[in-house]
Amino acid sequence: MFNSQLPPLSELPTSRQLVRSTLIAAGVAAALLTTVVLPSEYGVDPTGVGHVLGLTDMGKIKVQLASENEQNIAADGVADGADKPTEVAAQAAQPITDTVPQGERSDTTTVTLEPGEASEIKLAASKGAKINFDWSVAGGHVNYDTHADAPGIEYHGYGKGKESQGERGTLTAAFDGKHGWYWRNRSGATVVITLRTSGAYSAIKRVV
């Protein structure tokens, strides 16, 4: 048996009070949606508050990077179906395979991109292989995504960025598979990307 007594009816909220509380909660939720959630997550700023708080730019970056990621995944599936040749100064690019390389090699690859056009270069390397890379952009800037894939692994990211004129460093293969760079020309002019690579990999090829 419960000994506590029910509160008197006079202390219970009225229907009007309940409706008022519900409307207030809905209004607060709608305000947060339009001033915080939409700008920060989707780059949509109907009130202008998101721009003042710096949330709109963050949301636009999220949306653009998500779009780039989807394009990267789609581009990976086009491997071996590209119809644009790669210019290789050191030696002609060979079809990518998962063969473990013997020794090291070096290549210089150039890619020309019109505004809005994208391209991807992949090389085959075994787990732990180190590939030194240095790529630069002449004529503008690009968005890039350095990533890899393999049977059973659809996407593995090493790093990405926006409006870059070049990057350099050492890529350490996370697993046996295809590793490389995806670029999209987001500038208003034609750009030429020059990629220099050296290390223990078996093949390099433009796949899109």
What is the CB neighbour count within 10 angstroms for residue 113? 22
User: Are residues 156 and 171 in contact, defined by beta-carbon separation less than 8 angstroms?
Assistant: no
User: Can you tell me the distance from the alpha carbon of 7 to that of 5, in angstroms, rounded to the nearest whole number?
Assistant: 6
Contacts of 104 (CB under 8 A, 6+ apart): 198, 199, 200
What pLDDT is recorded for position 37?
72
Collapse the DSSP code of 88 into the 3-class scheme (helix H, G, I; strand E, B; otherwise coil) and give the result: strand
Asked whether residue 117 carries a pLDDT value surpassing 90, the answer given is: yes
Q: Which two three-digit tokens encode residue 133?
A: 């890379």
User: What are the structural domain ranges in the chain?
Assistant: 12-75, 81-206
Neighbour-count burial of 108, counting CB atoms closer than 10 A to its CB (0-12 exposed, 13-18 middle, 19+ buried): middle
What pLDDT is recorded for position 73?
53
Per-residue pLDDT tens over the stretch 43-93: 777 777 767 777 666 666 666 666 665 655 554 443 333 333 333 333 333
Asked whether residue 3 carries a pLDDT value surpassing 90, the answer given is: no
User: Considering the chain, what percentage of its residues have pLDDT values greater than 70?
Assistant: 68
Q: How many residues belong to the chain?
A: 208
User: Can you tell me the distance from the alpha carbon of 155 to that of 148, in angstroms, rounded to the nearest whole number?
Assistant: 6
Asked whether residue 203 carries a pLDDT value surpassing 70, the answer given is: yes
User: Are residues 187 and 142 in contact, defined by beta-carbon separation less than 8 angstroms?
Assistant: yes
Per-residue pLDDT tens over the stretch 148-174: 999 999 999 999 999 999 999 999 999
Sign of CA dihedral 57, 146, 196, 192: negative
What pLDDT is recorded for position 65?
63
User: Are residues 124 and 99 in contact, defined by beta-carbon separation less than 8 angstroms?
Assistant: yes
Query: In Å, what is the CA distance from 194 to each residue of 51, 133, 136, 138?
Result: 37, 10, 5, 8
CATH hierarchy code of domain 81-206: 2.60.120.380
- Whole-prediction pTM: 0.54
Contacts of 172 (CB under 8 A, 6+ apart): 128, 129, 130, 131
Per-residue pLDDT tens over the stretch 21-51: 788 887 777 777 777 777 667 777 777 776 7
Asked whether residue 180 carries a pLDDT value surpassing 70, the answer given is: yes
What pLDDT is recorded for position 31?
75
pLDDT band at 97 (very low <50, low <70, confident <90, very high): very low
